[in-house]
Homo-oligomer: A and B are copies of this chain.
Amino acid sequence: MKVPKISEAVVKRLPVYLRYLNNLKAMNVRTVSSQQLGEALDLNPAQIRKDLACFGEFGRKGIGYEVNYLVEKIKSILKLDQQINVLLVGAGNLGHAISNYNAYLKDNMKIIAVFDADPNKIGKKIANLTIQPLSELKETVKEKSIRIGIIAVPAEAAQSVADCLVDAGITGILNFAPTNLRMPEDVRVHDADVTMELHSLAYYL
């Protein structure tokens, strides 16, 4: 099997395509060309075709891409055709907000467990999930086949929480804490620090 190296940039764009294609699907649009996608998403049509061609031949010359078919294909590339269970660590303001994201994640991705270090929060509920102590993390990950962890704790606690996640077998982390996590090579970390986004935005003012 041919396994061409897929760049990070390509992978970041796939969910963008998926999101827009889902809109088209909801509007019962049958087919779409790379030209139309490019206009809607502010991307070069050649780039879109090349991105998709990394994974197969999904379009038809002279016609374009069938929306429903492409949605399924991208979902499968992103593994969203499988059940992907997610856990959240941190039941503060941000954690509370994130726990409500299940509606957006849709389909097969779901936040199914929440943890916090604060004894006073254990047992309480957010978004109908019961807050568990960190001591139960490893076991829950195994039992419920959790594959992604979201870190929404203060910076000071983030590294040790991340270490716990890795120890439990998690290999994908979305980190909201304002700190650089040191992780083994096989663990993928996506940073989502609001402060950093605002700071880089300021440059362009």
- Which A residues have a C-beta under 8 Å from some C-beta of B? 11-12, 14-16, 18-20, 40-42, 77-80, 84, 86, 92-94, 96-98, 100-101, 104-105, 109, 147-148, 150, 171-174, 178-180, 182, 188, 190, 192-205
The residue in A92, A174, A205 that gathers the most chain B C-beta atoms within 10 A of its C-beta is A205
Which B residues are CB-close (under 8 A) to A78?
199-200, 202-203
Can you list 29 A-B contacts (CB < 8 A)? A12-B196, A12-B200, A14-B203, A15-B196, A15-B199, A16-B180, A19-B178, A19-B193, A19-B195, A42-B180, A78-B200, A79-B205, A80-B202, A84-B205, A92-B97, A93-B96, A93-B100, A94-B97, A101-B194, A101-B195, A109-B198, A147-B205, A148-B201, A148-B202, A171-B204, A172-B205, A173-B201, A174-B197, A190-B197
CB-nearest residue of chain B to A183: B42
The residue in A171, A188, A195, A199 that gathers the most chain B C-beta atoms within 10 A of its C-beta is A199
- With contacts A93-B96, A97-B97 taken as known, whether A148 is within 8 angstroms of B198 at the C-beta atoms is yes
A102 to B147, CA, bound (A): 32
A92 to B98, CA, bound (A): 12
| Chain B nearest CB, measured from A9 CB (Å) | 11
Number of copies: 2
| Chain B nearest CB, measured from A59 CB (Å) | 21
Which B residues are CB-close (under 8 A) to A195?
15, 19, 101, 104-105
The residue in A97, A100, A200 that gathers the most chain B C-beta atoms within 10 A of its C-beta is A200
